[in-house]
A and B are shown apart, each in its own frame.
Chain A
Amino acid sequence: MSASLDTTLKPVVPPPDWLPLALAPVLALAALPLVGSPATWATLTLAGLAMGMMIFIMASGLTLIFGLMDVLNFAHAAFITLGAYSATLLLGPRSDWLGADSLVLNAGALLVMVALASAVAAAAGFAFERVIVRPVYGRHLHQILVTVGGLIVAQQLITAAWGPVQVALPLPASFRGIVLVGEVAVERYRLVAVAIGLVVFAAMLLVLNRTRIGLLIRAGVENPEMVEALGYRIRRLFVGVFVAGSALAGLGGVMWGFYREALTPGMGLELTVLVFIVVIIGGLGSVGGCFVGALLVALTANYAGFLAPKLALGSNIVLMVAILLWRSRGLYPVAKR
């Protein structure tokens, strides 16, 4: 009797959904025979991974902000651009570190620039939340309009400050060039990008799953009213997430800037298209889905760019449509939506 009662009262835990995780490896393996040469395939895959990590860093902030507070920030693009541009502030004073023939100094310069980019984007995010977003919580139409307005203004301000022309952002000397592993040419910076991306992803998972703040954020995504009723200030939590998300955008922006070694005022907007596709594929509000989505999008872009350069741009739309046909709310839909 009691035994049967026990079984009936057990909470029903849905089995973890591993299927989407297999997509990226399957895609990579499927591309192998198409590409032909394993060395080229390895280079493309690594390039895809590096690009995926950078896009993941940018997209994760957006998806968190949306998941927690139902705000879709079209001005995310501006934080990406701002982060990348603010790194150039250090080009003058720290150019001796950048050019130095020492790995420690180079890495130091990179770290300082990355930190500055995140900090500037975070500060801008704080101000943006207060001035632009706060008055329109809960009204989607107004949110979209106001954040697009913020994007216009921010883009114009960035252009006013740094000029409309392309700005160079040279990589530190030690991270340039390639290393040969067997026949595979590996760009050093791509390894760095993958490493930073994995660290960010791990840190994010740790914070979200193993800390009290993370618990509150996850609870807020599920049911904000309940969290508020339990006495937590969800607004304050949200400001924190907004600032963190903006910092991530800045971080992703500066990493992308180093990847391309050049910055334009429109770079954030160009990336936002990819970021949006990633967020849609992953399921609005899901960090795990965002990670898988970013890898899928970047790998597809790289393979398609090699196999059929003209179709490369359409490939991501095809990918998005395919995923949405399979799961109409993205890979990992967030429960309440």
Chain B
Amino acid sequence: MRFLRALLSDDLPRSRALSAILVAIFLGLLFAPFLFSGSQALNAAAKILYFVVLAASYDLLLGYTGIVSFAHTMFFGIGGYGAGLALYGWGPSWSSVAAGTAIALVLSVALATAIGLFSLRVQRIFFAMITLAVASVFAILASQLGWLTGGEDGRTYQVPPLLRPGFRLFEGEIGGVAINGRIVAYYLLLVTALVLFLAMLRVVNSPFGRVLQAIRENDFRAEAIGYRTVLYRSVANCVSAAVATVAGVMCAVWLRYTGPATTLSFDIMLDILLMVVIGGMGTLYGAVIGATLFLLAETYLQTLMGAISRATEGIPLLPALFHPDRWLLWLGILFIGSVYFFPAGIVGRLGRDR
């Protein structure tokens, strides 16, 4: 128990229901290759892994520091393209992954610093607008520089041999499942996600994290106490950008493909925003629950809506509103509702029984 407490930086989920859900998600992800059959389910689980990291790093900004950024997918994309283009250009080796990640990290932190210098001094709103502008220009730029990025089509590449589907870790099976390269890749992602998540938990529960929360609550007062709020905000922005970059690398390694639609699009930015707010701002566990719920909804809500759409066929307008492609409409309404009625999100709803 003491070990667990230290691992979670003494920030335990303080509610039985929440703990139960988190444990269920963790066990589900841990045994995903054995619990669910088929590559579809494994893909969904891997997607949850890198989106948990992405959403948690966004929560570092939105929930803990109280600044709204629309450039988070840009950093995610830099990571994705960094690893992806390195694997594409320099061949499928671990050194390409490492070099690509390093370049991407440097670029991300430099960009985050530059944006922060320009806009964090002024107002939240300024930052939101400037990040939106920069990110959209970056996205268009990435699809324009076709010779480098492959344009709209993106790049498909090979990953190091250890992670390829044809690879066998050893002969034989565990629980009826052959341990191939995909499963190795999955566990690589899982470990990375876990390490990053625990590190972020460490950051938000450190004195540094407390200052961030003070800035969120009242930046004027935090400044008056003697903290240089601009500096703290900028560092938070850089940390968040760096973690998002690694999430991008995870995505690139898993998908063996990098393109604008999987990394840079504004839709993904909105998805992250929905995950964090619906899950619960200002608690990293909210990001876990939000990301999991959102990605499950992406698959299962559409099926449900398809059924409703067919059932309401004769009625005007309703089938169009329940068309499976309109699932984001309902999540958007849920999003607005949660900002109004339970700003602490699902985690806040589950309460904190002590």
Is B266 close to A, CB under 8 A?
yes
Neighbour of A156 across the interface among B133, B266, B273, B326, CB < 8 A: B326
**Cβ of A280 and Cβ of B126 under 8 Å apart?**
yes
Given contacts A314-B137, A324-B118, contact A145 B339 (CB under 8 A): yes
The docked-state distance in angstroms from the alpha carbon of A159 to that of B130 is 27
**A152–B335 touching, CB < 8 Å:** yes
Q: Which of A146, A153, A276, A328 contacts B132 (CB 8 A)?
A: A276
Q: Which residues of B131-182 have CB atoms within 8 Å of chain A's CB atoms?
A: 132-134, 136-137, 140-141, 144-145
B259 at interface by CB-CB < 8 Å: no
The distance from the CB of B55 to the nearest CB of chain A, in whole angstroms, is: 15
Q: How far is the CA of A269 from the CA of B75 in the complex (A)?
A: 20
CB pair B333–A153 under 8 Å, yes or no, is: yes
Is the CB of A149 closer than 8 A to any CB of chain B?
yes
A161 proximity list for chain B (CB < 8 A): 320
CB of B137, distance to nearest CB on chain A (Å): 5
* B122/A160 in contact, CB under 8 A: no
Task: For chain B, residues 315 to 354, give those with C-beta under 8 angstroms from any C-beta of chain A.
Answer: 320-321, 323, 325-326, 328-329, 331-333, 335-336, 339-340, 343
Number of B interface residues at 8 Å Cβ cutoff, please give it: 41
CA distance A320 to B277 in the complex (A): 31
Least CB separation from A143: chain B residue: B125
Which among B118, B141, B270 is the interface contact of A148 at CB below 8 angstroms?
B270
- A window 156-185: CB within 8 A of B: 156-157, 159-161, 164
Q: What's the least CB distance linking B128 to chain A, in Å?
A: 6
Contact A310 B144 (CB under 8 A): yes
Nearest CB of chain B from residue A168's CB, rounded to whole Å: 21
Contacts of B332 in A (CB 8 A): 149, 152-153, 156
Binds B, one of A134-142, A206-214, A237-245, A254-262: A134-142
Give A159 to B329 CA distance when docked, in angstroms: 10
Set A140, A150, A313: member contacting B140, Cβ < 8 A: A313
Q: Do B123 and A337 touch across chains, with their CB atoms under 8 A apart?
A: yes
B46 in the interface (beta carbon within 8 A) = no
Nearest-CB residue, chain A, relative to B321: A160
| A145/B321 in contact, CB under 8 A | no
Contact assessment for A273 and B144 in the assembled complex, using a CB-CB cutoff below 8 Å: no
The answer on a CB contact under 8 Å between A140 and B118 is: no
| Chain A residues positioned under 8 Å from B274 (CB to CB) | 152
Q: Any chain B CB within 8 A of the CB of A205?
A: no
How far apart are A329's CB and chain B's nearest CB, in angstroms? 7
Say if the beta carbon of A132 comes within 8 Å of chain B. Answer: yes
- B66 sits at the interface (CB 8 A): yes
- Complex partner residue of B323 from A74, A145, A160, CB under 8 angstroms: A160
Set A132, A141, A273, A280: member contacting B66, Cβ < 8 A: A141
Question: Residue B289 at the A interface, CB < 8 A?
Answer: no
Q: What is the bound-complex CA distance between A132 and B339, given in angstroms? A: 11
**Quick check: A135 and B340 within 8 Å, CB to CB?**
yes
CA–CA, A149 to B274, complex, Å?
A: 8
Residues of chain A within 8 A of B121, CB atoms compared: 328
0/1 interface trace, chain B 276-290, chain A, CB 8 Å (1 if under): 010000000000000
List chain A positions with a Cβ less than 8 A from chain B: 66, 72, 74, 132, 135-136, 140-142, 144-146, 148-150, 152-153, 156-157, 159-161, 164, 269-270, 272-273, 276-277, 279-280, 284, 310, 313-314, 316-317, 320-321, 324, 328-329, 337
Residues of chain B having any CB pair with chain A under 8 Å: 66, 68, 118, 121-126, 128-130, 132-134, 136-137, 140-141, 144-145, 266, 270, 273-274, 277, 320-321, 323, 325-326, 328-329, 331-333, 335-336, 339-340, 343
Q: A141-B124, A280-B130 are in contact. List 19 more A-B contacts (CB 8 A).
A: A66-B125, A72-B129, A141-B68, A144-B124, A146-B340, A149-B335, A149-B336, A152-B270, A164-B325, A270-B136, A273-B136, A276-B129, A276-B130, A276-B133, A277-B133, A310-B145, A317-B134, A320-B130, A329-B122
